[in-house]
Amino acid sequence: MPLVSLTRLHLASWWRVVPFILESNASIRQARRADGFLRGAVGKEPGLGFWTATVWSDIDAMRAFRDSDAHKAAMPKFYRWCDEGAVVHWFQGDEALPEPAKALERLLRDGKLSKVQRPTDAHRAGQVVGRCPVWQRPIERTR
C-alpha cells in the first residue's frame, strides 16, 4: 500500500530562501532516482512556508531516502534555517498525490512537529500550523 509523506517547513528569514531552494533541489534529484519513489510535488504557501508531498511504494523506501545522501545532509541545515516544521505520513489505496486542502487537513490533524533551532511561539506551544499550499512543481521519477 503506498505511503504519502508530507512535510511543511517555514523559513525564519528571507535570507535563507536561496540556500533552502538549492538544498531542496538536491533532495528532489535524489528522490527522482530513489528506489520506491512513485511521485511527488513541491508546494508553497503565502510567505515563507514550503511543502513537499511524496508518494512511496512503502515506508522502508521512504526511510531509506530520508536517511541518506542529499536529504540526510540537508536536514541539519533546515533545523537551523526554519522556525516551524511538521511532517505527517499515511497509507492510502492509490499512488495519487493528495489535494492541497487534504494535505493541509492531514498535517493539522495528524502532523508531528519537527525540531527547529528558533521556533515561533506557535511551534514552541506545540501547534502544527500552516496554510493551504499550492503544488507548484511535480516531481517525476527519473527512469
Question: Which tens digits make up the pLDDT trace of 41-66?
Answer: 999 999 999 999 999 999 999 999 99
| Whether the predicted pLDDT of 142 surpasses 80 | yes
Summarize the confidence of residues 120-141 as an average pLDDT: 96
Over residues 68-86, the pLDDT tens digits come to 999 999 999 999 999 999 9
| Whether the predicted pLDDT of 143 surpasses 70 | no
Summarize the confidence of residues 120-133 as an average pLDDT: 97
Q: Is 112 exposed, middle or buried (0-12, 13-18, 19+ CB in 10 A)?
A: exposed
Please tell me the distance from the alpha carbon of residue 120 to that of residue 63, in angstroms, as a whole number.
28
Q: List the 82-91 sheet strands across, edge first.
A: 112-113, 82-91, 3-11, 49-56, 37-45, 134-139
Q: Where are the alpha helices (DSSP H) in the chain?
A: 17-33, 59-66, 69-81, 100-110, 121-124
